[in-house]
Amino acid sequence: MTTYAFNDTTTLTKRSLRHILRSPDTIITTAVTPIAMLLLFVYVFGGAIDVGGASYVDYLLPGILLITVASGVAYTAFRLFTDVSGGIFERFQSMPIARSSLLWSHVLTSLVANVISLLLVVLVALAMGFRTGAGVLAWLTVLGIMVLFTLGMTWLAVIPGLTAKTVDGVSGFSYPLIFLPFLSSAFVPTSGMPGPVRWFAEHQPVTSIVNTIRALFAGQPVGTDGWVALGWCVGLLLVAYALAMRTYHRTFV
């Protein structure tokens, strides 16, 4: 990114962040659904779910973190859709600013907002009894995984943000993403699932990411799940970025 594009991106990102600061309920609302799920599953279903003697809140938190991101990127798609449908996007295009900054400002805003939402969820989990033996390096690794996952999901959200025709259309984008962790090891071990469901659960990206974060929090070896999770996160980011940019150039350039 050149200095010219960097300055434009910084300016537009500040604009988007100011909108969030003026409406902090956006972040709170984004975190409400994951926190409600955390409370529901720990205090209502947790006692009936066997996770091998571990604390259920410790077992559940990694999956809730991914759901938090899935909830958060829905707002990115909505904010981008609002700019496009309201004509602001075209107005910016008519100005002498870097074209890439229009999208990157939304992506970076999404990253900041999601990190804040993730922090809120972790604080609630700590209040509920979540404990971890993770050191600084393990926490930084978890942060790195979540940043990659958030960026990949955000670039994926850019596509409906640019192409949706209605608010309902852009809002429905996140529903499959929020549902996907239910078909993984996020809530229950995959060993008790029926054959075809178990195969899908063990080979979809959420399971390897959840298992990696869970192992890091527990201070245990990550094993091959770590490389698989990294591959999924990087692959998602690259594919989503390429598709988002192709959609942008096809639609507006």
Q: Could you list the mean pLDDT of each consecutive 10-residue stretch along the chain, which spans 253 residues?
A: 68 77 69 89 85 86 93 84 76 67 84 90 94 91 95 92 81 79 90 90 93 93 92 95 89 69
* Backbone phi and psi for residue 114, each to the nearest 5 degrees, phi listed first: -70, -35
Q: What is the pLDDT of residue 24?
A: 66
Burial tier of 95 (Cβ tally within 10 Å: 0-12, 13-18, 19+):
exposed
The count of C-alpha atoms lying within 13 angstroms of the C-alpha of 247, restricted to the half-sphere facing its C-beta, is 17
CA distance to 69, 84, 108, 159, 175, per residue, from 81 (Å): 18, 5, 16, 10, 17
C-alpha closest to that of 143 among 120, 108, 118? 118
Cα-Cα end-to-end distance for the chain? 19
Look up tokens 């594919």; give the residue. Answer: 239
Q: What is the pLDDT of residue 96?
A: 63
Kindly report the CA angle at 233 between 232 and 237, in degrees rounded to 5? 115
C-alpha closest to that of 117 among 66, 180, 83, 187? 66
